[in-house]
Structure formats: structure tokens, C-alpha cells
Amino acid sequence: MSLQKSSPKGWTRKDLVGLKDLGEDEINAVFKRAAQFQKNFSASASKLKGELAALLFLEPSTRTRMSFEVALTRMGGHALIFSAQASSLEKGETLLDTVKNLEAMGVRFFVLRNRENGVIEELAKRSSASFINAGDGTNEHPTQALLDLFTLKEAKGKIAGLKVVIVGDILHSRVARSNIFALKKLGAKVALCGPEEFLSPDLSALADETSDDLESALNHADAVLCLRIQRERLESELHFTAQNYFKNFGLTEERLRKHASSNCVVLHPGPINREVEIDSQLADGPRSLILKQVSNGVFIRMAVLSLLRLKRSRN
Ligand code: CP
């Protein structure tokens, strides 16, 4: 798999469907705008005045859906919450027809989470509205990776040259995939770690190291991105119990103190499963950036919405 490194300066896209094809300049354009909103919240006040955005979450979500809703509210836009179970999807209407009907009502932004890989990209091609991928199957979750890296850069002052270890269920993780794409574009060293059944050959090909031994993977780590086991995507029973998983791959303060760099920080996209992939002392302790990620998620989503709005206004 090859990754595009450069792109035209700034933002030129109608949609944000993934980070695989995004250039470093575009990632930095999002970071720059998010930092502006973080510094001066009122600067964002009417950036989306009068705009309608449909939030179509066809899989469960707390952080992503609510932070898009907060971002839209802060910017003077309107978030239209779509409930799949209460919609005509239940009567057999297609997702494309659903999008076309909402578009006919004046919706110009779609924030979509979907169980199948690639569907959001296809919808975006067939619509003049702007699409944001809020997670599609095991493919990508671009705004999550952008907020992860924005938070990491804020904590460390840089991304280039850092050793970032991604631990857990990499195979089923759209968060891991988007993070690996972006981390490599920004010059980080990426190490992947998990039980063999959770490792992904195509992502290992992009990483600098892959291991099923947590303690060696943590060696000289500057940051660890911890992932939960995506039980909803498993096709067969696991070969280990939650207790066994924690024993071999659970992140603890003691493990980090012994093996990682002294200032190693911990990220997790959430939801966290305490005492399965991470212990509570670490999740709630001084190394943890977990709630900072959530706060920054609002700024990143505001930045993405604002760049897409700017692009639309220039057409
Ligand atoms: N990180 C993340 O996508 O969380 P939610 O599933 O709660 O949106």
C-alpha cells in the first residue's frame, strides 16, 4: 500500500472520507484551524449560520455524534439527528435515496457512520453535499485520528520522530488505520502490537515494527494509543479471556514506567473497557490524554466543518 505525501496547499476537498489520500498540508490546515478555534472560541460563532447537517449514525456512538452536535451548535448550524430505527430505512428505502431526500430539504452536510467499508465514499461521489466519514466498518475514522494527532502534538510539541505504539485489536480498528496513515505522513515511527489474530498484514506493511510482545513494543515509546477489542466485528470466538488479554496486553502504569520513555503519554479513542485493555490508574492518571482528546474532538470537528463550508462557498 502506498501513501500520498503531498497535496495542493490548504484544503481543496468537498468531503472528508479518509486520511489515506490526504496530504500533510491538508492535515496541517485542519490542525491550524482547530488551534484557532481552541484559542478563540468566539471566532467560530457564526461560521455555519443557517447550515443544516444530518447526523446519520447507523452504528452506536457517544463521542463522535455528540461532539459533531456540539461543534455545529457552537458554529450556529443545525444538527439534524437521524434515528435509523425510526426512519424509512426500516421500510426498505436505500441510504442513497435517504441522502437524496434530505438533500432536497436543504441539507448540505452529512456526518455518517456505517457498518460497511467504502459506502460513505460512494455516497459522496453521488451527491453534491459534503460528507464526513464518522467511521465506516473497519476502514477509516478520519476525524478521530485527526483529534488524536492534534492532542499528541499539543502534548509533545511535534509528531515527527516520535515513536507511537498502537496496541490492541488493530485488525478491526478504523481508528488504527486512519492513525497509521496520518502518523506516517507526519513522520512518526509506528509500532503495532497485539495478539497475532489482531494484527493486520496490510497495516503491518506500513508500520516500522510489529510485535506480539507488549514489553518489547513499549521500548522507548513516546506515546501509546490503546484500542479496545471490537467484539461487534469478531467473526469467531477469541482464543483468550478478558483476564488473559489484560495480563498480556493490558496497559498499566507499571508497564509504562518499566519499559516506555519517562514522559510517555497514553491515548485511547474510547469507549474504554477498564481492566481489559487499560487499568484505571493509568486511564485516570497524569499520562492520560483521554479526556483531552474528547475536548479537542470538538475543535477538530469544528475545523473540518468550517473548511468544508469554505470550500463550498468558493464553488
Ligand atoms: N471514538 C469514538 O468513535 O467513540 P464513539 O463510538 O463513542 O463515537
- Within 6 A (CB) of ligand 1 lie 61-64, 135, 144, 269-271
The predicted pLDDT at position 1 comes to 57
The predicted pLDDT at position 233 comes to 76
Atom of ligand 1 nearest to the CA of 67: 8
Residue whose CA is at the smallest distance from ligand 1 atom 4 = 63
The predicted pLDDT at position 5 comes to 47
Instruction: Check whether 202 has a pLDDT greater than 80.
Output: yes
The predicted pLDDT at position 230 comes to 78
Same domain, 186 and 278: yes
- Name the pLDDT band for 2 (thresholds 50, 70, 90): low
Residue 5 lies in a domain: no
Centroid of ligand 1 to alpha carbon of 61 (angstroms) = 5
Same domain, 220 and 284: yes
Centroid of ligand 1 to alpha carbon of 292 (angstroms) = 14
What is the domain-level CATH number for residue 262? 3.40.50.1370
Torsion angles phi and psi, residue 281, rounded to 5: -60, -40
Residue 34 lies in a domain: yes
Atom of ligand 1 nearest to the CA of 60: 6
Same domain, 170 and 264: yes
Residue 15 lies in a domain: no
Same domain, 167 and 269: yes
Task: Determine the residue of 144, 273, 290 to mutate for testing ligand 1's pocket, defined as the one with the most ligand atoms within 8 A of the Cβ atom.
Answer: 144
Same domain, 171 and 310: no
Centroid of ligand 1 to alpha carbon of 229 (angstroms) = 13
Same domain, 207 and 299: no
Domain with 112 in it: 24-141+295-314
Residue 4 lies in a domain: no
Residue 155 lies in a domain: yes
Instruction: Check whether 43 has a pLDDT greater than 80.
Output: no
Residue 42 lies in a domain: yes
Same domain, 157 and 108: no
Element of type H or E holding 266: strand 265-267
Same domain, 153 and 285: yes
Same domain, 269 and 154: yes
The predicted pLDDT at position 80 comes to 98
The predicted pLDDT at position 247 comes to 95
Give the tens place of pLDDT for each residue, 227-236: 998 778 777 7
Same domain, 262 and 131: no
The predicted pLDDT at position 171 comes to 95
The residue-averaged pLDDT of 133-160 equals 98
Same domain, 130 and 177: no
Q: How many domains does the chain have?
A: 2
Same domain, 245 and 300: no
Atom of ligand 1 nearest to the CA of 269: 1
Q: Cα–Cα distance between 145 and 131 in angstroms, integer? A: 17
Instruction: Check whether 40 has a pLDDT greater than 70.
Output: yes
Atom of ligand 1 nearest to the CA of 141: 3
The residue-averaged pLDDT of 42-63 equals 92
Residue whose CA is at the smallest distance from ligand 1 atom 1 = 269
Residue type, 99: V
